[in-house]
Amino acid sequence: MPFLGQDWRSPGEQWVRTAEGWERLKLWRLKLSIYTYRYMYVNLYIRIHYKCFHLNLTVHTSIGEAMSRLDLVGAIKDIRRFNYVCKILEYLILHKLSNMSGAGQKIVFNLLKEVLYQAMQTHNNVNSVKQLLSKTEQALKEGHYDHLGSERLWQKHQEAVRKMQDDLGNLHIKEREEDGRTMMSDLPDDVIRDILHCLHDHRDVIRTGMTEARALELSEEKRVWRNLCQFHFDNKTWNTVVRKGESLESLGWKKLYGRLVKRYGEKEVFAEKLCLCSHCNALFWENHGHPCIFSNLPPKSLSINPMMCVELFTA
Ligand SMILES: [Zn+2]
């Protein structure tokens, strides 16, 4: 006689409803214990070695499960991890979404909603979220005829993206009111220079210059652009974009940077990344560390970029 569980989703499994949707109870408990110990990691040995011999099956960790166990929704609230998670999301949407199960797609869209919510609350990264939404809209159009999951679910995603775009379009960022505290215009030149030298994204330098005439003058200084050239590119590549009859001096650092970016693209910079332990294959946030089972060995890990992170898991 077949076994009929009380829960039709998976006979024998217990499920619990959370803000992110339905989760397996045992996974949810694990997540709670991870919170307790303040470790967020995925043991990749599940993907690499775990075999169910009597059924002759290899069990892989899905990207949805990994996203849940790494608490990417929580990571969005951390300004140091925001851009990294956004890049994971972008890669997933552009390259994996149509091959993901309906449940996996829901996790992706829940995360996208959290990204939007965070940008609207903090008014940070609004432009990058706008671009992410427009890429998502495009990916949904392209995957319209060959996606997994139901047609209705795909339509729901399209409706959700349109609504998110409307919400973001209606966001009005107010200028800070005069509250007696220090304003940008009160800062001396050297402080503004120091701020400009800390920026690694040329768009931020340009936007800072748009705030007032003095900041514009400081943002055009050659040291700012020389720093950007040195940060993003090896000095051996500089000469590859200098044409015949030109010299670095005659070209200027800003123009040089523009040509280098056009030819080679920018270096991806993240305040915090995920790392993969070389001993136990645990994936963990750089600043959190992880409880390594080989604690007698010196720590050794590899920084993982967002694309590599997605490729570690199955869709
Ligand atoms: Zn380890």
Q: Which two tokens stand for residue 220?
A: 């055009």
* 142, 238: one domain: no
Tell me how far the alpha carbon of residue 48 lies from the centroid of ligand 1, in angstroms. Answer: 15
Whole-number Å distance, alpha carbon 287 to ligand 1 midpoint, is 14
Please give the residue range of the domain that contains residue 258: 201-264
Is-contact 114 71, C-beta < 8 A?
Answer: no
Task: For residue 280, report the distance from its CA to the centre of ligand 1, in Å.
Answer: 4
What lies within 8 Å, CB to CB, of 41 at 6+ separation is 34, 69, 70, 282, 283, 284, 288, 290, 291
Angstrom distance (rounded) from CA 41 to CA 281: 10
Measured in angstroms, how far is the CA atom of residue 274 from the centroid of ligand 1?
Answer: 13
Say if 179 falls within a structural domain: no
Ligand 1 center to residue 216 CA distance, Å? 48
Q: How many angstroms does the Cα of residue 293 sit away from the middle of ligand 1?
A: 6
How far does residue 291's CA lie from ligand 1's centre (Å)?
7
In a domain, 275, yes or no: no
Residue 85, token pair as written in the block: 């998670």
245/143 Cα distance (integer angstroms): 49
> Ligand 1: distance of its center to the CA of 314 in Å?
22
CA–centroid distance, 273 to ligand 1, in Å, is 16
This prediction has a pTM of: 0.73
23 and 164 share one domain: yes
Q: What's the number of domains the chain is made of? A: 2
For residue 277, how far is its CA from the centre of ligand 1 (angstroms)? Answer: 5
pLDDT in tens, the chain (315 residues): 445 555 555 556 778 777 667 777 766 666 665 554 444 455 544 444 434 444 454 556 778 778 877 888 888 888 889 999 999 999 999 998 888 888 888 888 999 999 999 999 988 888 889 999 999 999 999 888 888 878 889 999 999 999 999 999 998 888 777 788 888 888 999 999 999 998 888 988 998 999 889 999 999 999 999 999 999 998 888 888 888 888 888 888 999 999 999 999 888 888 888 888 888 778 888 888 888 888 888 988 888 889 888 888 766
CA of 297 from ligand 1 middle (Å) equals 9
Q: Let me know whether 150 and 241 are in one domain.
A: no
Q: What's the farthest any 2 CA atoms get from each other in the chain?
A: 86
Q: Is residue 126 a part of any domain in this protein? A: yes
- In 3D space, the residue among 49, 69, 67 whose CA is nearest the CA of residue 59 turns out to be 49
Q: How far is the CA of 245 from the centre of ligand 1 (A)?
A: 54
Same domain assignment for residues 85 and 207: no
Distance in Å, CA 25 to ligand 1 centroid: 26
Q: Residue 87 carries which side chain, given as an amino acid letter?
A: K
Structure token digits, residue 106: 């829901």
Q: Are residues 154 and 243 in the same domain?
A: no
Rounded distance between C-alpha atoms, residue 231 and residue 249, angstroms = 19
Last residue of a domain, one of 218, 233, 264: 264
